[in-house]
Structure 1
Amino acid sequence: MKKIAFATCVHLGLSCIEEIYRIGGSLDLLITLKDEKAKDKSGRIYLDEIANEHDIPLLKIDNINDQEVLSSLKEYQIDWLFIIGWSQIAKKDVLEAPTLGCIGMHPTLLPIGRGRAAIPWAIIKGLKETGVTMFKLDEGVDTGDIIGQGVIKLDQNTTATELYKKVDDMHIALIAKYWHDIVSNNVILTKQSSADATEWPGRKPEDGEILSSMTMDETDKLVRAVTHPYPGAYYKEKERTIRIWSAKTDENDGEIKLSDGYLIPIDYEIEGNYGR
């Protein structure tokens, strides 16, 4: 049986670790950030409890590329290192420290959608399906060989909140599906097709602005794409900003005029000083 380590500092990673133990697996080393780091990061969790419960060595670090990480991977003779829910980029030394390599996940069907903001882009682009890819990490951005994928269907009503949950669930499902292959060294790696690859850029909160030049379709997709857990879509009107979490469109009437109709906010907040 191969020796496995897991690096995470967010809830999704903890859910994956819990799934490993639920299906009868075990881990040989846990890696997380030092307690004082990333305290305000969304979804930040601590691994002390699960490490104690299952008697797993726990390494707390500043950076995934620190020398102590390399030393620990060697000390515990780690074959595979999962890096899931981790914002720092692992460099060549870390990627090559486990005897078989490192495993990551990406919330698209690679090679489609390499890069950032995978959940909002899938909705904005009107995709009929997306998914999660488990793959062997290399020095590129989401370019490594594929271990397995899970497909997630989308429709014209899918919100970021719903897709985020489905992506989390698919991470856990892929862990369960491929765990035995990973620990028994039966992983089949499939090279990505560079000809089919697309890259999606990062998104900023200001990219959620609704403009009157936009169509009803574009606006509907934007509202659904950047609702919770993202910063939300917004419309600027004189001295105030309307932050919109859900809305509907109408061809004939509504609060916000668009190029081919109207937007009617349903769940929203008013920001700014209106009427001063």
Structure 2
Amino acid sequence: MKKKIAFATCVQLGLSCIEEIYRIGGSLDLLITLKDEKAKNKSGRIYLDEIATEHNAPILKIDNINDQEVLSVLKEHQIDWLFIIGWSQIARKDVLETPTYGCIGMHPTLLPVGRGRAAIPWAIIKGLDETGVTMFKLDEGVDTGDIIGQGVIKLDQDTTATELYQKVDDMHITLIAKYWNDIVNNNITLTKQNDADATEWPGRKPEDGEILSGMTMDEAGKLVRAVTHPYPGAFYKDGDKTIRVWSAKTDKNDGGIKLSDGYLIPIDYEIEGL
């Protein structure tokens, strides 16, 4: 019997997965997203009205994934699996247990490394040479559930958040295509995470993008690359002006923003507060 699948998202990574499901001949029985007025400034924020109309899929717009309304609609549609991707609210036990088989998420690291928030900026700030995307069954922890599959993404010293976001988006699509049939046929293999290898990365705020004079060229360069588009950008205070830096180069001798061991020279930037 055909499994009934629902999908909750409000960001581009999730929409890309939905588009891939339809592209490979799959279908969705329910789409869930935030109400239009919520999270308008969230990085990658999208709306599902168009794809819902195109594929005649029911759409539910909510305030919170844990609302009673969500449980009622999942039961009403007799949902077997619920994808929750690119969603900042943590689904509680009631939600996780309402679909017949549970809920599936994706996280843009190679779990158990990098549980938590801001995975794309942190991978660059930490100077990793590889990261990836993990598809996993959600449990009550944060990014602690059993792994369905992973894909590796290589990084180098020039990788920007813009490029990594696109690679993460592409890997979401790859993993959906790879495991879709196993999911709908209930043929997935789950692998427990090794908690001994786990690391947790904290959330980041726009003010964490400030370039400080005590930083090294390496630290400042990584920060600029890590929080460029689609994130709020790195910035430097100059009196009552704020210089928002989207790309930059570093130099030991040339002028620019003074650092502990050289200079950061903005290439693409905006001056705010003029």
Within 5 A, what are the aligned runs for 1:22-101? 22-101=23-102
Q: Which residue of 2 aligns with 1:195?
A: 196
Q: Which residue of 2 aligns with 1:181?
A: 182
1:212 and 1:34 mapped to 2: Cα distance?
Answer: 42
Write out per-residue CA displacement over residues 222-264 of structure 1, whole angstroms, 9 at most, x where no aligned residue: 1111111111112223333221111111112221222211211
1:193 and 1:247 mapped to 2: Cα distance?
Answer: 38
SS across alignment from 2:264:
strand
How far the C-alpha of 1:172 sits from its partner, in A, is: 1.1
How far the C-alpha of 1:62 sits from its partner, in A, is: 2.6
Answering whether residue 95 of structure 2 is matched by residue 105 of structure 1, we say no
User: What residue identity is the alignment partner of 1:148?
Assistant: G
Write out per-residue CA displacement over residues 198-239 of structure 1, whole angstroms, 9 at most, x where no aligned residue: 001111222111122211111111111111111111222333
- The 3 A distance-change label for structure 1 pair 117 and 39 is closer
2:178 and 2:135 mapped to 1: Cα distance?
Answer: 11
Q: Which residue of 1 aligns with 2:238?
A: 237
- The 3 A distance-change label for structure 1 pair 200 and 60 is same
Count of residues in correspondence between the two structures: 273
Q: Which residue of 1 aligns with 2:153?
A: 152
- The 3 A distance-change label for structure 1 pair 48 and 243 is closer
Q: Which residue of 1 aligns with 2:220?
A: 219
2:67 and 2:203 mapped to 1: Cα distance?
Answer: 27
How far the C-alpha of 1:151 sits from its partner, in A, is: 0.7
Within 5 A, what are the aligned runs for 1:115-194? 115-194=116-195
How far the C-alpha of 1:13 sits from its partner, in A, is: 1.7
How far the C-alpha of 1:33 sits from its partner, in A, is: 2.6
- Normalising to structure 2: TM-score of the pair? 0.94
User: What residue identity is the alignment partner of 1:62?
Assistant: D
How far the C-alpha of 1:266 sits from its partner, in A, is: 0.7
Consecutive unaligned residues of structure 1, counting only runs of 5 or more, are none
Within 5 A, what are the aligned runs for 1:252-263? 252-263=253-264
What is the percentage of aligned positions where both structures have the same residue? 87
**Greater Cα shift, 177-186 or 76-85:** 76-85
- The 3 A distance-change label for structure 1 pair 89 and 205 is same
SS across alignment from 2:156:
coil
The runs of 4+ residues in structure 1 deviating greater than 6 Å are none
- The 3 A distance-change label for structure 1 pair 16 and 264 is same
Write out per-residue CA displacement over residues 77-101 of structure 1, whole angstroms, 9 at most, x where no aligned residue: 2111001122222110000001110
Contact 2:217 2:263 in 1 (8 A): yes
- The 3 A distance-change label for structure 1 pair 201 and 74 is same
Q: Which residue of 2 aligns with 1:248?
A: 249
1:195 and 1:25 mapped to 2: Cα distance?
Answer: 37
User: What residue identity is the alignment partner of 1:134?
Assistant: M
SS across alignment from 2:166:
helix
- The 3 A distance-change label for structure 1 pair 166 and 249 is same
SS across alignment from 1:119:
helix
Contact 2:43 2:231 in 1 (8 A): no
1:104 and 1:52 mapped to 2: Cα distance?
Answer: 24
